[in-house]
Amino acid sequence: MDPTICAACKYLRRKCPQDCILAPYFPSSNPQRFACVHKIFGASNVTKMLQQVPGHLRAEAAECISYEATARVQDPVYGCVGIITQLQQQITQIHSEIMKIKGEMVAHRSAHPQHLPSPQPQGEPSWFSSTHRQEQDNFQSDKHLSGNF
């Protein structure tokens, strides 16, 4: 493994120029990362995408490209949306568990009012409901976008 040749140039069997735009984000130590990205997006598209991004944001862009490519290789049909769907289902499931437990607490309190401290204000914490709702909105728009694939 030659550390002076980045994973991209090695994969493409070309000389790695000193100003190679891919070299900082696709080191020779991780050839699989570029292989995934190349398979999904194509090397020239990745180069174009990185060129369009200001230098200080390229590492993050490369990270996103790599994450999306890896997810798409693992799940060719849904890619990242598959992961988002799973997490969304977990949120929904946990939310309904919270609601169920809150209902049980209310029932327990009314059955044994003398044993418990005065009830706390009801309802879910505001951070939870607003974040949860926003995530659902984002998820809806993601689904809408993915329909156009």
Among 11, 19, 20, 39, binds Zn ion (CB under 5 A): 20
Q: Does 84 bind Zn ion (CB under 5 A)?
A: no
Q: Does 69 bind Zn ion (CB under 5 A)?
A: no
10 near 43, Cβ under 8 Å?
no
52 near 34, Cβ under 8 Å?
no
Write down the least CB distance from residue 44 to Zn ion, Å: 13
Joined tokens for residue 102: 């809150």
Q: Where in 21-50 is the site for Zn ion (CB under 5 A)?
A: 23
Type of residue found at 38: H
Among 12, 15, 16, 132, binds Zn ion (CB under 5 A): 16
Gap between the Cα atoms of 124 and 101, Å rounded? 12
Write down the least CB distance from residue 120 to Zn ion, Å: 59
Question: Which is closer to Zn ion, CB of 9 or CB of 46?
Answer: 9
Residue 84 CB-half CA count within 13 A: 17
Given the rule CB under 5 A, which of 3-11, 56-64, 82-90, 121-129 is the region that contacts Zn ion?
3-11
Q: Does 9 bind Zn ion (CB under 5 A)?
A: yes
What DSSP state is assigned to residue 149? -
Among 6, 37, 65, 71, binds Zn ion (CB under 5 A): 6
Burial 91-124 (b: 16+ CB within 10 A, else e): beeeeeeeeeeeeeeeeeeeeeeeeeeeeeeeee
Question: Which is closer to Zn ion, CB of 3 or CB of 147?
Answer: 3
Residues that bind Zn ion (CB under 5 A): 6, 9, 16, 20, 23
